[in-house]
Amino acid sequence: MEKNTKPEDGNLIHLNGPGLLPSRIINDFKKNLFSKTALEEGWKRCLERFEKLINTYPAYLWELNGEPSSFFIYKEWNRKVEILWCHQLNKYFPKEIFIRPALENLLEAMEEDLHAERITSQFPSWSKIIGVDLLSMGLPWLGFRRFDVELMTVRISNKNSPDKPEIPEGIDVRRWADSRKLEAAELMCRVGDNYMDYINMTPEECLVSIDEIYSAALSKMAFNEADELVGFITSNEKGWIGQIFVREDYQRKGLGAYFISDLIHRLVEKKINRISLAVLSDNPSAKGLYQKFGFSSVGSNPMWAWLAST
């Protein structure tokens, strides 16, 4: 720590556009990444996302002694803000002492500059690659609520594939139809989970979430006899399940189990040997369903949410 450096004596600067972060702090992050990431695949994926973000979104920069000490990349829409990435110079240690004043000023600025009514972040999911979870050092003291997300995975093959699934009675399962994707987003929003309910996630946001994951060739929809969408599953070509949602009055009828079993068979045919997904730790019914198919937890990460109304 530099002499006479007080954590609270900083200055927050709004970089209201992409590509404006100083090269010094960018290079410090890269150096930190390369020194802490054991697997080359991990740091390459992390670096690719980082470089995409700094060239796409604006940021806030926290200065100490006239030099950049930390930054926060964010995106904003309709008074909703998501912190996408952050970093603090390695020389400022202990890190939590220096990150908290920066986060306090960041929260105040996002309220005043961006009129934020909601601030969220899933950035801590990268902490295992980067080596430090800066946000979790400061957000609990600022009124953010924590939601723990478990990563679950299972190896699949012809030898351990479940029996061929039977479609529940009165249900018509079809290939994914983009023409009915908005209905899927509305169903996702209506069924939700504790995190989605807390932040009051909109159908438009659910639509974005679906678009980030799904492969139309691997995703499916289920309809009742009135041609109403009652459930869907999305997956990408790498075996990552994005969403499984079933309408409340059609739950516990075997539709979720059908979706998973059917997807396993189709992914095995494509020579995919692993399926993964993320689920809230406080969702025992969903976790129980996945465990029946051999899924096990391989780690967890926090998501953070702050609401102006609370």
List, for residues 93-150, the tens digit of each pLDDT value. Answer: 778 889 999 999 999 999 999 999 999 999 988 887 887 889 999 999 999 999 999 9
Put the strands of the sheet holding 172-175 in their side by side order: 172-175, 220-223, 229-235, 241-246
**Distance (Å, whole) CA 98 – CA 68:** 12
The answer to whether residue 40 scores a pLDDT higher than 70 is: no
The answer to whether residue 5 scores a pLDDT higher than 70 is: no
Tell me the residue type at 184: A
Q: Residues with Cβ < 8 Å from 4, sequence gap 6 or more?
A: none
Tell me the residue type at 56: T
pLDDT at 240: 96
**Distance (Å, whole) CA 205 – CA 80:** 11
**Distance (Å, whole) CA 234 – CA 244:** 7
The answer to whether residue 7 scores a pLDDT higher than 90 is: no
Q: Residues with Cβ < 8 Å from 74, sequence gap 6 or more?
A: 57, 58, 59, 60, 81, 82, 83, 84, 110
- The helix (H) or strand (E) run that includes residue 70 is strand 67-77
Confidence of residue 69 (pLDDT cuts 50, 70, 90): very high
List, for residues 164-209, the tens digit of each pLDDT value. Answer: 788 999 999 999 999 999 999 999 999 999 999 999 999 999 999 9
pLDDT at 41: 65
Nearest to 120 by CA among 149, 153, 157: 149
pLDDT at 197: 96
Whether the CB-CB separation of 304 and 103 falls below 8 Å is answered with: no
Nearest to 135 by CA among 174, 171, 87, 66: 87
The answer to whether residue 47 scores a pLDDT higher than 70 is: yes
List, for residues 197-252, the tens digit of each pLDDT value. Answer: 999 999 999 999 999 989 999 999 999 999 999 999 999 999 999 999 999 999 99
Place of tokens 């290079």: 27
pLDDT at 2: 46
**Distance (Å, whole) CA 92 – CA 95:** 6
pTM of the model: 0.90
Quote the tokens at residue 187.
């169903």
**Distance (Å, whole) CA 289 – CA 209:** 22
List, for residues 88-104, the tens digit of each pLDDT value. Answer: 998 887 788 899 999 99
Mean residue pLDDT of the chain comes to 92
Confidence of residue 3 (pLDDT cuts 50, 70, 90): very low
